[in-house]
Amino acid sequence: MINGCEMDPLKSSYETFDDLGHYLDRIASAVGRVTMQNFGIDPAKYAEYAVAGGHAVQLTNILCDVKEDFERWRVHIPQEDLRRFEVPESDLEAVEPTKRFRDLTRFQVPRKRRYTRRHDVLGKRVAVPGWRKATLGIGTWVRARLKLPLGR
């Protein structure tokens, strides 16, 4: 987790989704592994839950914080995706999202396992309510304990 936190000031962008994956593992999946230990779950045995949950939550955070991150000289959306959808970095600080930016965020949605369905992340901050976070956390814990597959 410390390595992940140290990456933010040192690395301002990621070329590919695989490159971003290293950051996601350190900043988010590590939290899942530690949390599993707190619940008495073997993180090595159920690593896929920590990875999937961490990636989904962090990708949601990335999309919610696009504008704020850009203002701090960070772009967590992979550069290859920006190029693919022809989104200039200046669109990341726009007041209203462009059609290209909306297309880009729609592409990102499956990556974050559909935890949010809203694409206008520039105009208003999107947040998951606390009750929903608790429900997801408890559901994930139960699925891990019962050795059920990931997903809904």
Instruction: Residue 128: give its domain's CATH number.
Output: 1.10.600.10
Residue 152 inside a domain? The answer is no
Residue 54 inside a domain? The answer is yes
- Whether 1 and 30 have beta carbons less than 8 Å apart is answered as yes
Token pair, residue 45, equals 């045995």
- Whether 109 and 59 have beta carbons less than 8 Å apart is answered as no
pLDDT in tens, 71-126: 988 999 999 999 999 999 999 988 888 999 999 988 987 776 543 346 455 666 65
Residue 150 inside a domain? The answer is no
Q: Tell me which residue range forms the domain holding 59.
A: 2-145
Between 3 and 17, the higher pLDDT residue = 17
For residue 43, pLDDT beyond 70: yes
Secondary element (H or E) of residue 131: helix 130-145
- Whether 106 and 50 have beta carbons less than 8 Å apart is answered as no
Q: What is the dihedral of CA 120, 109, 63, 79, to 10 degrees?
A: -110
pLDDT in tens, 58-72: 888 888 899 999 998
Residue 105 inside a domain? The answer is yes
pLDDT of residue 144: 84
Domain count, the chain: 1
Distance in angstroms (rounded) separating the CA atoms of residues 123 and 3:
31
The model scores a pTM over 0.85: no
